Amino acid sequence: MKRILLTVLLIATVLFSFTPSVLAADLDNGAKVFGANCASCHMNGRNMVNPAKTLQKADLEKYEMASIEAIQNQVQNGKNAMPAFKGRLNDSQIEDVAAYVLDQAEQGWKS
């Protein structure tokens, strides 16, 4: 009985340790941060500067950006024409906006 209980606890610990950070993020705050900082170039998941690199799921996957970590890195450090937001946004805001972008991409930017 002890062995079964320990096994169940071990499995539960492993499962809950790897919960995606999108669950911890505040999507409502991410939407606000996106609206205030990103929407001018990325309205509805488009890209006004480089139309080939949108925030649509297929493009995020194509350019290996379909993860919270990749999006956070892009937001923090910028790349090409995209400015870095490190210093302008705090870590929580960056996490929230990355989760929001990934969530919207999964939904097809319908909301």
CATH of the domain at 51: 1.10.760.10
Residue 89: strand pairing partners: 86
Domain assignment present for residue 6? The answer is: no
Domain assignment present for residue 10? The answer is: no
CA–centroid distance for 44 within its chain: 15
- Mean of pLDDT values over 101-106: 97
- Which residue did the predictor score with more confidence, 78 or 18? 78
- Residue 14's pLDDT is what? 55
Q: Is 111 exposed, middle or buried (0-12, 13-18, 19+ CB in 10 A)?
A: exposed
How many domains does the chain fold into?
A: 1
Q: What is the pLDDT of residues 6-61, one digit of tens each?
A: 666 657 665 554 445 455 689 999 999 999 999 999 999 999 999 999 999 999 99
Domain assignment present for residue 73? The answer is: yes
- Residue 8's pLDDT is what? 62
Buried b (16+ CB within 10 A) or exposed e, 74-104: bbbeeeeebeebeeebeeebbbbbbbbbbbb
- Residue 46's pLDDT is what? 96
Query: Domain range for residue 75?
Result: 21-107
How many Cβ atoms are within 10 Å of 53's Cβ, its own excluded? 18
- What number of CA atoms fall less than 13 Å from residue 110's CA on the CB side? 3
pTM: 0.78
Domain assignment present for residue 101? The answer is: yes
Domain assignment present for residue 26? The answer is: yes
